[in-house]
Amino acid sequence: MSDFPADPSLTADAEPSRQRASQLAQALRIELRKAVIGQDAVIDDVLTALIAGGHVLLEGVPGLGKTLLVRALARCFGGEFARIQFTPDLMPSDVTGHAVYDLHTEQFKLRKGPLFTNLLLADEINRAPAKTQAALLEAMQERQVTLEGEALPIGQPFMVLATQNPIEQEGTYPLPEAELDRFMLKVRMDYPQAQQELDMVREVTRSPRADMLDVQPLRTVLHAEDVLLLQQVASELALDEQVLDYAVRLARTTRSWPGLTIGAGPRASIALVRGARARALLRGGEFVTPDDVKGCALAVLRHRVRIAPELDIDGLEVDQVLKQLLDQVPAPRQ
């Protein structure tokens, strides 16, 4: 692939940090693959978002291991973990917290909700009404929650992994485009290959749990401060101006591409660059290549564009249109 040079400003002190960050990322990937079988690409996408400091919308039919993946990540990650099961009667205060009157002190006390954590699983986010979704999405963007007029920061790192079922539409409240844009990546979890499914069934039926793998044997391989190190090192990886231009061109091309009625905004360009840096670190690279940008492009763009109705009627999916775009937008070579 490309031979873009490493940044000459990379100091000797930065090199051990980059190597340690890459080793931590590889160790986390290895542990997750022990629990989530046959979803290697999904694991890489989730780790990309974690390293880039973004949030993930996980979409897939029931039983593919969406919740298992998040539980496994929480097990391997020594930070705080919380889960919210979204339901039609869930109130915003159930997510963010609320004020409680203390009879002893005769004062109101703020009781923080499950949102105040490092890793949050928002299960079936599209089952909650818009007001409750908005409470979560505001916190994702601002990294803080306002309770009783007081702005309370959410500890870092903070990552939301929201799941939704694409086939059950009854009793759901689809996320509007503006709110979908808050998610850095939309990751689709598909059925595993035949051999992978055989391996999964073999492992699950050995487990004492009824129908899922036990995440308890997984090791804790990193802590909150290690995640911050990963994010810092990734943000400093060398990025050639041509690769930066390529990422921006990809996002801009969606706005005039035949078959797309709505294109991606500037937030997509930012996500492409952040995601590419994370993928470069994940593969142990010293600098970002066009392949790193291309590798995260589908997950970055698929929820930020809208396919034309006539193509939708013909059975064409947004990923197919985006793959055509990726094939035809020239990548820099050197």
Q: Residue 151: give the domain boundaries.
A: 14-237
Structure confidence at residue 103 (pLDDT): 74
User: Would you state the pLDDT for residue 232?
Assistant: 94
Q: Would the pLDDT of 324 be above 90? A: yes
- pLDDT at residue 57 greater than cutoff 70: yes
Question: Is 327 within a domain?
Answer: no
State the average pLDDT for the chain.
Answer: 86
Does residue 313 fall inside a structural domain? no
**37 domain-assigned:** yes
Note the helical H segments in the chain: 14-35, 40-52, 66-76, 92-96, 130-142, 177-180, 194-204, 224-235, 241-253, 266-282, 290-301, 309-313, 318-328
Please give the average per-residue pLDDT across 83-105, as a whole number. 84
> What residues contact 138, with CB distance under 8 A and at least 6 apart?
145
CA distance 159 to 224: 11
pTM of structure: 0.87
- Structural domains of the chain, count: 1
pLDDT for the residue numbered 13: 54
Q: Domain of 153: which CATH number?
A: 3.40.50.300
At CA 300, angle to CA 168 and CA 68, rounded to 5? 50
Most confidently modeled range among 148-152, 209-213, 266-270, 330-334: 266-270
Q: What pLDDT is attached to residue 109? A: 76
The pLDDT value recorded for residue 214 is 66
CA 41 – CA 9 distance, rounded (Å):
32
| Closest residue by Cα to residue 227 from 67, 56, 49 | 49
Give the CA dihedral 214, 215, 218, 222, nearest 10 degrees. 180
> With bands split at pLDDT 50, 70 and 90, how would you rate the model's confidence at 210?
low
17 pLDDT exceeds 60?
A: yes
Is 179 a member of any domain? yes
Q: What's the gap between Cα 102 and its chain centre? A: 39
Task: Report percent pLDDT > 90 for the chain.
Answer: 44
Average pLDDT over residues 248-276: 95
Task: Render pLDDT for 294-322 as a digit per residue (tens, 0 to 9).
Answer: 999 999 999 999 998 888 787 789 999 99
When mean pLDDT is compared across 120-129, 231-240, 261-270, the lowest value belongs to 120-129
Is 256 part of any domain? no
**pLDDT at residue number 5:** 46
CA–CA distance, 269 with 279 (Å, rounded to integer): 15
Q: Of 101-115, 144-158, 174-188, 284-298, which one has max mean pLDDT?
A: 284-298
| 160 in any annotated domain | yes
- Of residues 106 and 88, the one with the higher pLDDT is 88
33 in a domain, yes or no?
Answer: yes
How far is it, in rounded angstroms, from Cα 259 to Cα 200? 38
More confident residue, 231 or 137: 231
Does position 150 have pLDDT exceeding 50, yes or no? yes
What is the average per-residue pLDDT within 10-32? 81
Tell me, yes or no, whether 330 lies in a domain. Answer: no
